[in-house]
Structure 1
């Protein structure tokens, strides 16, 4: 009820409420300006009313496919992305991407919302993907992403026995001028830091947990390959595909600050069934 705030001499109640929005609530100034221009801020007695849930039209064609919802409220949606599904179209006209599936989910419910993804995963990396359900959430979560306030933890099966002394990989990553799709460790690249925790070992492989402090393209894949432990199935970076035809990389956990309340939301994503089968083969049990 910011309408009860004390105002300075000569200050209007609405001006005081707008200042409260930006300083106390942390509302993005860009959104405040837009709401002012569209008459979306009103004082009703002592209460402040904001039009932050206007209908939004999705730019993506709905594609109906079963989705696993890991977390949802009025501001955020987190869904599991299976391996082999792109997060969004890349210009080739695909409609079977994650954003198309989320658009279909909203359409099926009759929700006038547009799927705004906050981060991406590689096509063949499974795990949780965070979506904003309104513009307020989009701006706040984009800010959190730029501040590196969104934590992402992954697990991966890699070739070889990883040393317990390998805890941090701090090497810059840049483009590989000899291969348009690859990245590589390069002195002239952008800073990249990956934290490594050894979980299990097998006769010729290891299971590791990886935490990103930066978000470079293919960061985990590049860093582990450079350390001599390419991901199983990652042909692009030297991994063998006899056990799995794509990289054995899964987003285990996502932690993000709630766009309105500010408290941390933790979302865990269980490993897909193919991981259990791979684990048995690596252990020589099947």
Structure 2
């Protein structure tokens, strides 16, 4: 773990032995790979310091020196707070992981919407005396519950988005699907594209984007003719698990859009955990959300 501390708008990090040959410029560009625009802004505003003095951008950083960065400087107005209690699984100065209920959108789709998880998290931060930048790093469909990662400043959003794209952030889902899957585990490697006959539906398509889903059967309920599966994604296509499971003849329970039966009010899909290599503390975070939907509990007891 790195030695770090927040002091007002400033993030301080003590340079570890492994970074002692880095310059401030190379650290921001190659270690964290921050956006060029953000680094340029800090350089022009002269808001980066080492041990309290303006940084020499191209001088090697000494082990034990303290790099000071304006991570938390007010940058913009945040989302409109919406008063609704949400389960916060983890939070620090840089990021937050929340457990999305199945009946809630991840973020607004119109200017007038505010009853979303993003707005509810903004209300949580407001109650803690925080405001300003807040952004979801990924999203879940309406009807899908579970873990969602939020960034609390621009640098965090940039790094976490990259880590997600590079598959360094791992997300695990569980789903209840129709039928008894015969294989204990497998991989579905089928491209996914838009369905030209339906505006919100996706389908397996040779001209679609590459999509890779790994699944493992956790339980088979013979009486109910349902299977509980764990899924991990190598890609993050819209409706990926829903499309892929339907493509092998096992649509999600409740997912009427893809052939599931309405035995529950929405698709039985839950993002159960997320693993995050924390870029600013060096920790490996693992956050888990217990599914609240009755269908998961009933299947587990069958």
Which bin holds the TM-score, normalised by the shorter protein?
A: 0.7 to 0.9
Contact preservation (8 Å) 1:58, 1:103 = no
**What's the CA shift for 1:76?**
0.9
Hey, what does 2:41 align to over in structure 1? 34
Hey, what does 1:94 align to over in structure 2? 113
Number of residue pairs matched? Answer: 272
Hey, what does 2:285 align to over in structure 1? 265
Contact preservation (8 Å) 1:77, 1:133 = yes
**What's the CA shift for 1:161?**
0.1
Matched, 1:254 2:274: yes
Superposed, which structure 2 residues align to 1:182-197 within 5 Å? Answer: 182-197=201-216
Q: Residues 197-233 of structure 1, C-alpha deviation per residue, up to 9 Å, x if partnerless? A: 0000012110000011111100000000010000000
Contact preservation (8 Å) 2:228, 2:299 = no
The answer to which of 65-74 and 262-271 deviates more is 262-271
Hey, what does 1:180 align to over in structure 2? 199
**What's the CA shift for 1:279?**
2.3
Matched, 1:18 2:25: yes
**What's the CA shift for 1:113?**
3.3
Hey, what does 1:80 align to over in structure 2? 99
Contact preservation (8 Å) 1:80, 1:129 = yes
Contact preservation (8 Å) 2:186, 2:216 = yes
**What's the CA shift for 1:67?**
1.0
Hey, what does 1:207 align to over in structure 2? 228
Q: What RMSD in Å do the two structures reach over aligned CA positions? A: 2.4
Counterpart secondary structure, 1:77: strand
Counterpart secondary structure, 2:264: coil
Counterpart secondary structure, 1:260: coil
Q: Residues 144-201 of structure 1, C-alpha deviation per residue, up to 9 Å, x if partnerless? A: 1221221111000100001125511111111111111110011111111100100000
**What's the CA shift for 1:16?**
4.1
Give the TM-score of the pair, scaled to structure 2.
Answer: 0.83
Q: Residues 42-78 of structure 1, C-alpha deviation per residue, up to 9 Å, x if partnerless? A: 2325543211111244442110100101011111100
Counterpart secondary structure, 1:153: strand
**What's the CA shift for 1:29?**
4.8
Over 3 Å counting, the alpha-carbon distance change for 1:16 and 1:154 in structure 2 is closer
The answer to which of 104-113 and 192-201 deviates more is 104-113
Contact preservation (8 Å) 1:106, 1:113 = no
- Gaps of at least 5 residues in structure 2 are 1-13, 54-64
**What's the CA shift for 1:41?**
0.8
Give the TM-score of the pair, scaled to structure 1.
Answer: 0.87
Over 3 Å counting, the alpha-carbon distance change for 1:56 and 1:279 in structure 2 is farther
The answer to which of 100-109 and 77-86 deviates more is 100-109
Superposed, which structure 2 residues align to 1:1-286 within 5 Å? Answer: 16-23=23-30, 25-26=31-32, 28-30=34-36, 31-43=38-50, 44=52, 47-91=66-110, 93-164=112-183, 166-203=185-222, 204-241=225-262, 243-276=263-296, 278-279=298-299, 283=302
